[in-house]
C-alpha cells in the first residue's frame, strides 16, 4: 500500500509530527557529557530540552530555575517544530568484518553501493520517506573514500583544529574552545551527494561513478559555530587594492582550504571555499560537532566536520582538523578529481586518459551549489493500489534547490509534459524555526531562522489525484518537475556527463494497469546500487533507449510525439576499418612474420592490426598485445574494450587477412593433451577450476586452481606470468589480466595465485574488475581460463637471466615493488634462493605499501631473507609505509622516493659503452603505474641507465 503524509491540524504547511509538550517551568537538565554548548540568548530567553517519546523526540521549553521566571506567552509555542527523530538501535555488522571499519556500528537497512568497503550507502527510499523531515543519523546517506577514522572520547576531547596560512592570528582550537569563544548555533540543513540519481545516467551510458539511487539525500539539524565567526577571530590577510577576479595574487587571502584526518591512497581528503563565501554569515557555514541533538557518529565526521548549506556533500569535509587561508584553491587530489560536471561530449575513457586530465583542473567545471531536483517517494517502486470510481490517492515526494534558494513550484504531468496539472501543495517544515525560533538552548544554542531568507532544506510536496486518472494516463507515467525561486526548472531529459554528477532531469514513474485485478503498479526509473528493477533496465532489454522512454504504445500518443527518436546503433566495424586499407589483402606468410613480441600483428573481425605503436601506451601493458601476436583476438578485444578504444584502432589498421590464413589455429588446443607434463599453452586457453581460497588478510587471498591432473606442473619459467580470463555464464569474456603465480613448478596438480582484492572506491566505483570477480568465485564450482607463459624476463638459474632475448649474469639485483607487485619479485627471489649455483647474486628489496596489514607474503619474504643469510648471501629488505604506522614500526615511512632508493638499493651500474659486456647489475620493478613512473624517474636521477638495466613487469 502507499504511504501518506498527513499535515498537522495546527499547521497546514507541516508534515506529520507529534505536538510539542506544554512548556514546563522546571530546571533544564544538562546535556550529555562532551556535548554541551554555550547558549547565546538573553537571561529571559526560553530554553529548550530534548524529551524522548515513543514516536521520537520533540523540543520542549524550560526555564532555568536560577533565573527569574519571565512572562510566559503560550501562543508563542502553538507552532510545533519537527520532532527530533529517535535513533534506531544499531550494531557492528557482519558485512564489515575483516575491513578497517569492523568496529563501527551501523544500520543494516542501508543499501550498500560499493560492496563492503569503503562505505558508500543510502537508505531505501521508503525508509528515508517514512523517517520524516529530519533523518535519523543512522539513516543518513554515507559517502566515504577510505576507512572511517577511529577517534576515542579522549581524543575527541583533545581534538585540535589548526587554523593557519594567510591570517594575522594562527590558532589551534579544541572543540571546548570553540564552544567557549563563539556562540553555539544550530541550522537545519539538507545534505545531498552530487551523485544523487546517478544510476539513471549509468543506465544510458556507464560513466566513472557508482550507482546512487534517489535517496542520496538526508536532512538534519547541525550544531556548531559559524565559520564566519572563527575566521573573523583569526583575521584573514586581505591587502587593500584592486585585484582582477581571475588572477592569482600571491599573499592575498582568497580561499579557505579544509582538510580531514582520513588517510587515502592519494593523500587526505580536502577541498576549499572562496573566502568571501566563508566570511558571509548568511551562508551559514558551520564547524559542527552535533547532528539532531547528538554528537556526530563516526561515519559522519566525529568529532568535528564542516557543513556548507546549499552546496553538495563533497564540499563538507568530515573529521576536520585543519583549515588554511590561502591565495590559491585547495591542491588536494580529490578537490580536482571529483565533483566535476565535465562537458557532455567528453566520454568516460577520454576523461580518465592522460590527455583528458586538463578537464579536471579547469575551474569552469567544479560543482558547488546544488541544482534543483525532486523525486516521487509515494507511490514507491512496485507499490500497488486499487482503481475505484471516485477514489483518490496521494502522490508525494521531496524537492530541494541549491545556494539557499527556495523551491516554489512542483508540477505533475500525466501525458509526459504535454500538459501540466495545477501545482502540488508544498510543505516547508523549516519555516517553523522562522515562526517559533529557539534561542539559548543548552545543546542547540540558537536555532533561529527568523532573520534569514535562505532555504537550506528540502521541502515535501503532495498532489491528490483520482485513481482513474492515473489509470487513464495518456503517457503511462507520472512526470514530475520542480522549479526554484530563480525559475530554474528541472530539464526534460538527463544531460549525461562522464562522472554522472548532478542528474536532475524530470522524474518519471511508470504506471502499469492490471485489468484482471484492476490494480495499478508503479515502477521507478532505477533501484540503487546493484539492485535490479526499474523501467530504465526493462526498456533497455526491450530495445528502447532509456533516455527517450515510451511507456504506453498508443498510436499518436502524446508520449510518442514528445519523445525524440533513439540514436542510431553504432556500427563498430566502420570505426575500426579504414576503407582505403580494407582492399589490401595480408597473406598468411606476411602475417606470420609478425607473430612476435617486437612487431605484433593480430586479427579482429578478419582484419589485421599492428600493435607495435601502442605497446608502451596500452593500459593493460604491452604483454596484452604481444600475447595475441599472430592470432585472432576478436573475442577478447570486442568484449573488454570501450568504444573509444575501438575507435583508436583505425590508426593501426593494416588490411584484410587472406582467407584460410588462420586455419592452423583451429585445433590449437587439441595439440596439448590433458596428460601433457605441463599445463600451460601459449596459443590456447586452458580451463582451470577454483578448488580453495586461503584468506591472508582483510584484502589478500591465495586462490588455488586445479590443473588437468595431479602430476602435472604449470610449466611456467621463473619470472614469467600467465593470463587469467573470466567469462560469464553465456561465455562472454568479462575481463582478463596477467598474473605471476605465487607457486612455482614444484607444486604439482595445482597453481596458487596471490591476489590483493581492490574493493570499490570513489574513483573506481566497481573496484578492481578482475579481483572483485575472483573474490566472488565459488570454490569447487567456478572456473577461469589460463594462457601462457608470457613475458620478456626469465630467470634461467646459475645467476643468469634472459631479458630482451639476451642472457646476462646478474650479481646485484635491485628489487622494487608495491602492493601486489610483490608476486613477480617473489618468484625471482624464490628461484634464486633455491638455486645453489646462484650464490653470487645479492639482493636488495624495497617494498612499498600503505599499511603494515597490506604487506603481502610478509612471512614468506622474511623466511627467504633468513635462508639467504643462512647460505652466506646478501639480502637487504626494507619496508616503507605511506599510511598510518604503529608507534613501534621499525621500517620506513612515506612513499618510495629517490632518497630511499639511494639508501636501500645497490649503486647504479656504470653506463655501458658500445661493445661492452652486459652489466651484471639489474633492477626489477613492479607496482601501480604511478609508482612505476616515480621509480623510473628516481632511478634515472640516481644514475641508472633505465632502458638497459631496469625491467618493468
CA 841 to chain centre: 44
Integer Cα distance of 795 and 801 in angstroms = 4
- 73 carries an active-site annotation: no
CA 322 to chain centre: 24
What is the tally of helices (H) and strands (E) in the chain? Answer: 24, 47
Q: In what order do the strands lie in the sheet with 793-797?
A: 793-797, 800-803, 806-809
Q: How far is CA 692 from CA 702, 704, 790, 820, 916, in A?
A: 8, 5, 25, 20, 50
Integer Cα distance of 219 and 833 in angstroms = 61
Question: How big, in percent rounded to 5, are the helix, strand and coil portions of the chain?
Answer: 20, 25, 50
Helix/strand/coil (H/E/C) assignment for every residue in 136-175:
CHHHCCEECCCCCCCCCHHHHHCCCEEEEECECCCEEECH
Is residue 608 classed exposed, middle or buried when 0-12, 13-18 and 19+ CB atoms within 10 A define those classes?
buried
Is residue 522 classed exposed, middle or buried when 0-12, 13-18 and 19+ CB atoms within 10 A define those classes?
buried
Nearest CA-CA partner of 271 in 333, 207, 202, 319: 333
Integer Cα distance of 514 and 474 in angstroms = 16
Helix (H) or strand (E) holding 360: helix 357-360
Contact by Cβ (8 Å): 214, 261: no
| Concatenated DSSP letters of 563-623 | SPPPPPPP-HHHHH--TTTTTPEEPHHHHHTT-SSSS-EEEETTEEEE-GGGTTT-TT-TH
The one catalytic residue among 339, 368, 847, 849: 339
Give the list of residues 6+ apart from residue 541 with CB closer than 8 angstroms, or none.
Answer: none
Cell representation of residue 698: 582483510
- 338 carries an active-site annotation: yes
Integer Cα distance of 238 and 126 in angstroms = 49
Give the list of residues 6+ apart from residue 919 with CB closer than 8 angstroms, or none.
Answer: 808, 909, 910, 912, 945, 948, 949
Integer Cα distance of 225 and 278 in angstroms = 13
Integer Cα distance of 112 and 120 in angstroms = 6
**DSSP classification of residue 657:** E
Q: How far is CA 816 from CA 802, 806, 878, in A?
A: 19, 22, 10
Coil, strand, or helix at residue 373? strand
Residues in a beta bridge with 295: 290
Integer Cα distance of 38 and 30 in angstroms = 12
The one catalytic residue among 121, 127, 193, 847: 193
Integer Cα distance of 755 and 209 in angstroms = 24
**DSSP classification of residue 920:** S
The CA angle 485-431-504, to the nearest 5 degrees, is 40
Burial pattern 86-111, b for ≥16 Cβ within 10 A else e, equals ebeebeebebbeebbbeebebbeebb
Q: How far is CA 866 from CA 153, 393, 840, in A?
A: 43, 76, 16
Helix (H) or strand (E) holding 425: strand 425-427
| Structure-derived torsion over alpha carbons of residues 361, 366, 368, 373, reported in degrees to the nearest 10 | -160
The one catalytic residue among 262, 338, 383, 416: 338
Please list the active-site residues: 193, 338-339
Amino acid at each position: 500500500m502507499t504511504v501518506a503524509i498527513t499535515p498537522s491540524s495546527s499547521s497546514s504547511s507541516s508534515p506529520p509530527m507529534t505536538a510539542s509538550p506544554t512548556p514546563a517551568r522546571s530546571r533544564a537538565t544538562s546535556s550529555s557529557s562532551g556535548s554541551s554548548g554555550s547558549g547565546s540568548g538573553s537571561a529571559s530567553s526560553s530554553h529548550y530540552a530534548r524529551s524522548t517519546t515513543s514516536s521520537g523526540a520533540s523540543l520542549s521549553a524550560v526555564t532555568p530555575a536560577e533565573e527569574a521566571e519571565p512572562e510566559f506567552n503560550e501562543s508563542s509555542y502553538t507552532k510545533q517544530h519537527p520532532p527530533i527523530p529517535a535513533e534506531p538501535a544499531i550494531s557492528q555488522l557482519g558485512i564489515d568484518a575483516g575491513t578497517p571499519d569492523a568496529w563501527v556500528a551501523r544500520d543494516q537497512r542501508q543499501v550498500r553501493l560499493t560492496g563492503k568497503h569503503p562505505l558508500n550507502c543510502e537508505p531505501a527510499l521508503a525508509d528515508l520517506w517514512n523517517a520524516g523531515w529530519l533523518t535519523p543519523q543512522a539513516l543518513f546517506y554515507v559517502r566515504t573514500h577510505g576507512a572511517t577514522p577511529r577517534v576515542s572520547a579522549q581524543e575527541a576531547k583533545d581534538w585540535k583544529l589548526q587554523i593557519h596560512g594567510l591570517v594575522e592570528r594562527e590558532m589551534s582550537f579544541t572543540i571546548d574552545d570553540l564552544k567557549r569563544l563563539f556562540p553555539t548555533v544550530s541550522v537545519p540543513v539538507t545534505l545531498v551527494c552530487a551523485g544523487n540519481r546517478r544510476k539513471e545516467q549509468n543506465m544510458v551510458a556507464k560513466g566513472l561513478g557508482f550507482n546512487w539511487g534517489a535517496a542520496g539525500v538526508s536532512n538534519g539539524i547541525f550544531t556548531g559555530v559559524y565559520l564566519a565567526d572563527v575566521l573573523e577571530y583569526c583575521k584573514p590577510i586581505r591587502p587593500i587594492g584592486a585585484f582582477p577576479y581571475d588572477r592569482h595574487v600571491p599573499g592575498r587571502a582568497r580561499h579557505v582550504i579544509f582538510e580531514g584526518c582520513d588517510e587515502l591512497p592519494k593523500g587526505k581528503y580536502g577541498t576549499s571555499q572562496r573566502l568571501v563565501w566563508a566570511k558571509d554569515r548568511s551562508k551559514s557555514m558551520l564547524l559542527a560537532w552535533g547532528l539532531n541533538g547528538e554528537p556526530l557518529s563516526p561515519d559522519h565526521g566525529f568529532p568535528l566536520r564542516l557543513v556548507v548549506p546549499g552546496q553538495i556533500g563533497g564540499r563538507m569535509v568530515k573529521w576536520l582538523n585543519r583549515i588554511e587561508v590561502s591565495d590559491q584553491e585547495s591542491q588536494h587530489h580529490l578537490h580536482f578529481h571529483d565533483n566535476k560536471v565535465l562537458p557532455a561530449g567528453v566520454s568516460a575513457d577520454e576523461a580518465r586518459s592522460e590527455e583528458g586530465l586538463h578537464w579536471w583542473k579547469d575551474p569552469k567545471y567544479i560543482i558547488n551549489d546544488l541544482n534543483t531536483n525532486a523525486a516521487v517517494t509515494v507511490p514507491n517502486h512496485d507499490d500497488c493500489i486499487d482503481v475505484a470510481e471516485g477514489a483518490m490517492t496521494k502522490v508525494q515526494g521531496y524537492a530541494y534547490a541549491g545556494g539557499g534558494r527556495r523551491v516554489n513550484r512542483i508540477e505533475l504531468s500525466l501525458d509526459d509534459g504535454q500538459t501540466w496539472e495545477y501545482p502540488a501543495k508544498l510543505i516547508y517544515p523549516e519555516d517553523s524555526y522562522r515562526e517559533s525560533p529557539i534561542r539559548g538552548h543548552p545543546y542547540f544554542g540558537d536555532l533561529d531562522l527568523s532573520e534569514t531568507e535562505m532555504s537550506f532544506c528540502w521541502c515535501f510536496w503532495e498532489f491528490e489525484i483520482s485513481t482513474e486518472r492515473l489509470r487513464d494516463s495518456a503517457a503511462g507515467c507520472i512526470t514530475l518537475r520542480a522549479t526554484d525561486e530563480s525559475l530554474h526548472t528541472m530539464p526534460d531529459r538527463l544531460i549525461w556527463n562522464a562522472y554522472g554528477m548532478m542528474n536532475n532531469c524530470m522524474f518519471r514513474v511508470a504506471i502499469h494497469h492490471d485489468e484482471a485485478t484492476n490494480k495499478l503498479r508503479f515502477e521507478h526509473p532505477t533501484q540503487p546500487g546493484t539492485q535490479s528493477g526499474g523501467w530504465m533496465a526493462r526498456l533497455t532489454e526491450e530495445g528502447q533507449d532509456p533516455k527517450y522512454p515510451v511507456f504506453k504504445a498508443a498510436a499518436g500518443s502524446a508520449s510518442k510525439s514528445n519523445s525524440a527518436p533513439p540514436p542510431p546503433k553504432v556500427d563498430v566495424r566502420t570505426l575500426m576499418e579504414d576503407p582505403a586499407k580494407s582492399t589490401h589483402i595480408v597473406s598468411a606468410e606476411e602475417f606470420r612474420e609478425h607473430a612476435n613480441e617486437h612487431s605484433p600483428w593480430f586479427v579482429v573481425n578478419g582484419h589485421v592490426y599492428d600493435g607495435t605503436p601502442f605497446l608502451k601506451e596500452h593500459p593493460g601493458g604491452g604483454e596484452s598485445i604481444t600475447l595475441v601476436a599472430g592470432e585472432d583476438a576478436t573475442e577478447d578485444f570486442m568484449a573488454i574494450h570501450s568504444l573509444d578504444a575501438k575507435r583508436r584502432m583505425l590508426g593501426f589498421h593494416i588490411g584484410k587477412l587472406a582467407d584460410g590464413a588462420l586455419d592452423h589455429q583451429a585445433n590449437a588446443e587439441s595439440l596439448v593433451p590433458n596428460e601433457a607434463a605441463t599445463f600451460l599453452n601459449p596459443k590456447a586457453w586452458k580451463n582451470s577450476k577454483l578448488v580453495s581460497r586461503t584468506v591472508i588478510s582483510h584484502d589478500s587471498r591465495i586462490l588455488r586452481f586445479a590443473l588437468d591432473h595431479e602430476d602435472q606442473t604449470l610449466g611456467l619459467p621463473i619470472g614469467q606470468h600467465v593470463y587469467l580470463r573470466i567469462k560469464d555464464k553465456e561465455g562472454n569474456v568479462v575481463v582478463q589480466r596477467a598474473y605471476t603465480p605465487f607457486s612455482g613448478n614444484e607444486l604439482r596438480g595445482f597453481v596458487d595465485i596471490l591476489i590483493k582484492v581492490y574493493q570499490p572506491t570513489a574513483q573506481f566505483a566497481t573496484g578492481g574488475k578482475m579481483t572483485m570477480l575472483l573474490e566472488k568465485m565459488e570454490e569447487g564450482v567456478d572456473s577461469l581460463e589460463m594462457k601462457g607463459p608470457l613475458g620478456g624476463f626469465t630467470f634461467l638459474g646459475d645467476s643468469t637471466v634472459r631479458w630482451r632475448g639476451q642472457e646476462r649474469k646478474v650479481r646485484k639485483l635491485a628489487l622494487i615493488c608495491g602492493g601486489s607487485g610483490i608476486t613477480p619479485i617473489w618468484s625471482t627471489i624464490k628461484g634464486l634462493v633455491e638455486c645453489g649455483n646462484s650464490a653470487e647474486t645479492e639482493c636488495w628489496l624495497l617494498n612499498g605499501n600503505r599499511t603494515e596489514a597490506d604487506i603481502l607474503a610478509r612471512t614468506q619474504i622474511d623466511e627467504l631473507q633468513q635462508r639467504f643469510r643462512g647460505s652466506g648471501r646478501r639480502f637487504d629488505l626494507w619496508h616503507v609505509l605511506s599510511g598510518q604506522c604503529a608507534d613501534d614500526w621499525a621500517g620506513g615511512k612515506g612513499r618510495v622516493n629517490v632518497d630511499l632508493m639511494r639508501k636501500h638499493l645497490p649503486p647504479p651500474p656504470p653506463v655501458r659503452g658500445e661493445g661492452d659486456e652486459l652489466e651484471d647489475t639489474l633492477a626489477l620493478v613492479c607496482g601501480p603505474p604511478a609508482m612505476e613512473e616515480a621509480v623510473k624517474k628516481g632511478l634515472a636521477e640516481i644514475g641508472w641507465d633505465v632502458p638497459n638495466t631496469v625491467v618493468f613487469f
